[in-house]
Amino acid sequence: MTDARDERRPAGELEAAVMAALWAAGAPLTPGRVQIELGSGLARTTVATILTRLHEKGVVDRERQGRGYAYFPVQDAPGLTARRMHTELDRDTDRETVLARFVAQLSPGDEQHLRRLLEGEER
C-alpha cells in the first residue's frame, strides 16, 4: 500500500531523491535498500515503481539480484541534466530559435564558459 505522503510529493521530486541515493551509493541497490537510504517513510512498492519508471526512461539500469533487481544510474548528475536538455531541444522543431533564446538568457559568466567550451578550450 502506498503511504498518503507518497502521493502528495511530485514524481520528479521522488525520482530526484531516488537518483541521489543511487549516486551516493556507488553500487547497485535493491528497492528495499533505496527505501532504507531515503529514510523518508516511502513504501517499498513506491520506491520499486519509481525505479521501474526510471529504468523505462533509460536513466537507470538493473541487474538480477536474487528474485529481484538491483538498480544503478546510467549517468552522473551532470550527464543526466545534459540528457534532459537534449530531450527538451529535440521536442521543438525550431532548434535555432530555442538555442538562440537559451543563449540569450545565459548569465555573462555562463555565456563565457559556453563560448570557451565551443572553442575547444575546456572539456
1 within 8 A of 45, measured Cβ to Cβ: yes
Domain residue ranges of the chain, discontinuous segments joined by + = 11-73, 77-119
| Cα-only R_g, the chain | 18
Q: pLDDT (tens digit, 9 = 90+) per residue, 38-55?
A: 987 889 999 999 999 999
Per-residue pLDDT of 64-120, as tens digits, reads 999 999 999 999 989 988 988 888 889 989 999 999 999 999 999 999 999 999 998
Question: The domain at 11-73 falls in which architecture?
Answer: Orthogonal Bundle (1.10)
pLDDT (mean) for 5-29: 82
Whole-number Å distance between alpha carbons of 31 and 44:
6
Q: Please tell me the predicted confidence (pLDDT) of residue 35.
A: 95
Question: What pLDDT band is residue 2 in, cutting at 50, 70 and 90?
Answer: very low
pLDDT of amino acid 74: 93
Between residues 1 and 84, the one the model is more confident about = 84
